[in-house]
Each structure stands twice: as structure tokens, then as C-alpha cells.
Amino acid sequence: MALRMSDAHSLDTLIQALKRLPGVGVKSAQRMAFHLLQRDRAGAQALARALMEAAENVHHCERCHTLTQDRVCATCLDTRRDHTQLCVVETPADQAALERTGAYRGLYFVLMGKLSPLDGIGPHDLGLQKLFTRACDGIVQEVILATNFTAEGEATAHVIAEGLKAKGLQPTRLARGVPVGSELEYVDLGTIAHALVDRR
């Protein structure tokens, strides 16, 4: 929706720029622009500075591929962690979820996405070659695939597993099963089927 104001050039540019954010449509972009300009100019300037700084300083960790402003991120440099385990996750948010459990003390490889041919995201974008090289470095003894249990996450896990098997490695995958605290009656069939097959 144009604002029908030929002079609202800076405003239109801002709304268009906000629309590029994922999950933001025209109405949200307008609301954000009006809010920033009407009530929070300091916030607008802080956001502009943060964007500039991040776009300049943040890049991929040389070892785990996550976003960081150092050459190697703090997690990879942490000597108290178990360097023989390598957990493959899709995003830093997934990594944070695993960290919160406190059940894993190994290292990570962050794909920063998942295989998605329709969006033009292939093995190279996820740094899979770097992952395979890392898995064969003689230090890593176990690769745990912790991509999401969605169609794309499963496909990504499958491709990585095939690549590792070609190098003679056998990765593990997070267990599928019934979520803690749930009642069987309300759990979907696929999950129950997997829980039956993987029973212990």
C-alpha cells in the first residue's frame, strides 16, 4: 500500500526496508516505521547502528560455522568441553536449546540453515564440506545429528549421514519418541510408531 504522499520518500524507503525482514508484511512494516519515528527515534538510531556494526563485524566461526565476531567462537575455544563429540544443529537458537538442557558438553557445528533446494540453499551454503573435513580430523569421534524433525531437517540429516558414511563414519541421530509429559492419546501416529520401533 502506498501512502499516497509523493513526498514521504524517506518513510516509504524505510517501510520497504522493514518489509525485507522475515515475517514482516506491509502493515507490520508501516506500524514499525510509525512507531519508531513517532515514539522511539532513539530506538531507530540504535537499530541502525546495531545493523551496521553487525553487518560489518559478524561472520562465520572458522571451526563451527556459527555467527561470531571473532575468528573462532567462544564455544569452540572452550577447553572444558568434550572435543570428541560434534553436534550438528541448524541454527544458534537450536544450539541454545541444547545448551539449556545441560546434557551435552561437546562441540557444535552450526549449519545456519537447512537444505532447501526451492530456496536455493544447497550443501555449499551449509558448509557441509567443512563439516566433513572437521569430522575426519582425528579428534572428533562421534557426530550427533540434531537437525529438526521436519521434512527439510530430516533431508538435511540424511544428506549429512550419507556424506559421513562415504568417509567411513557412522553418525548418531537424536532419538525420536514420545515427548516428556505427553499422553499417548494425543500424540501423533508417526511419533508413536517411531517410539515403538526405537523402544528400549
Least distance (Å) between residue 9 CB and its own copies = 6
Q: Tell me which stretch binds its own copies (CB under 8 A): 8-16, 128-136, 143-151, 182-190.
A: 8-16
**Minimum CB distance to its own copies, residue 147 (Å):** 15
Work out how close the CB of 146 gets to its own copies at its nearest, in angstroms, rounded to a whole number: 16
CB contact at 8 A, 172 and 143:
yes
> In this chain, which of 32, 88, 143, 161 binds its own copies, going by CB under 8 A?
32
Q: Which of 69, 129, 133, 141 binds its own copies (CB under 8 A)?
A: 69
Closest to its own copies by CB, 2 or 151: 2
Stretch that binds its own copies, among 45-53, 129-137, 143-151, 167-175 (CB under 8 A): 45-53
Grid cell for residue 17:
526496508
Does residue 47 interact with its own copies by CB under 8 A? yes
Contact between 62 and its own copies per CB under 8 A: no
Grid cell in block for residue 51: 545493523
Site for its own copies in 129-168 (CB under 8 A): none
Kindly tell me which of 16 and 150 has the beta carbon lying closer to its own copies: 16
For 85, residues 6+ apart whose C-beta sits below 8 A from its C-beta are: 104, 105, 106, 107, 140, 141, 142, 144
Where does this chain bind its own copies (CB under 8 A)?
1-11, 13-14, 16-18, 20-23, 27-28, 30-38, 40-41, 43-55, 57-58, 66-70, 73-75, 91-93, 95-96, 99, 112-113
